[in-house]
Structure 1
Amino acid sequence: MNPAGAVVIFIVWWWVVFLAVLPMNVKGRWEAPDDGVEGADPGAPADPRLKQKAWLATKIAFVLWAITAVIILSGVINFRD
Structure 2
Amino acid sequence: MQIGSIFAVYFVVWWLTFVAVLPIGNRSHHELGVEVVAGGDPGSPLRPRLIFKLLLATLLAAVFTALLLWGVSNETLHHYWNR
TM range (shorter): 0.7 to 0.9
RMSD between aligned residues: 2.1
2:29 — aligned with what? 29
Q: TM-score, normalised by structure 2?
A: 0.80
In terms of Rg, which structure is larger? Answer: 2
TM-score if structure 1 supplies the norm length? 0.81
* CA deviation vs aligned residue, 1:12-49 (integer Å, no higher than 9, x gap): 111111111111111111122445x6222101111111
Segments of 5+ residues of structure 2 without an aligned counterpart are: 79-83
1:64 aligns with 2:33: no
CA distance in 1, matches of 2:48, 2:29: 11
**Secondary structure class of the residue paired with 1:31:** helix
Asked whether 1:49 is paired with 2:46, we answer: no
Provide the C-alpha distance between the structure 1 equivalents of 2:74 and 2:5, rounded to a whole number of angstroms. 16
Distance, in Å, in 1 between the alignment partners of 2:74 and 2:31 is: 49
Q: Which has the higher contact order (CA 8 A, sep 6+)?
A: 1
Aligned length: 78
Deviating 4+ runs (over 4 angstroms): none
Amino acid at match of 1:3: I
For 2:10 and 2:73, how far apart are their aligned partners in 1? Answer: 15
Structure number with higher helix proportion: 2
